[in-house]
Amino acid sequence: MTGPPYPTAAVLSGFLPGLGQVAKGHSVKAAEVFTLGLMVGAAWYFGYAFTGPFSSALLYALVPLATVLWWGRQVQDAYTATAPGSLFPVLPLPSRGSLDIQAIGFLFLLTAYTDLYIIQARPDYGLKIFGTTLPGIWGLLSKAQSPTLHILIGVGFLLVKRWGLLVYLLYAGFGTINATINLAVLPGPHRIRLAFMLSLAAFTTYILWRRDRFTS
Task: Please tell me the predicted confidence (pLDDT) of residue 93.
Answer: 57
The span from the CA of 46 to the CA of 169, in Å, is 29
How far, rounded to the nearest angstrom, does the alpha carbon of residue 25 sit from its chain's CA centroid? 27
Q: Is the pTM of this model over 0.85?
A: no
Facing residues of 151 across strands? none
Please report which residue ranges of the chain form alpha helices under DSSP H: 7-15, 19-23, 27-49, 55-57, 63-80, 99-121, 136-158, 162-185, 191-209
The C-alpha atoms of residue 66 and residue 41 are separated, in whole angstroms, by 10
- C-alpha span between 192 and 198 (Å, rounded): 10
| DSSP secondary structure letters along 53-82 | TTHHHIIIIIHHHHHHHHHHHHHHHHHH--
In the structure, what pLDDT confidence band is assigned to residue 121 with cuts at 50, 70 and 90? confident
Can you give the pLDDT at residue 23? Answer: 92
CA nearest neighbour of 131 among 182, 197, 180:
182
- Rounded Cα distance, 175 and 169, in Å: 10
Tell me what pLDDT residue 125 has: 72
Which of 8-22, 76-90, 170-184 has the least mean pLDDT? 76-90
Q: Please give the helix or strand (H or E) that residue 132 lies within, else none.
A: strand 132-133
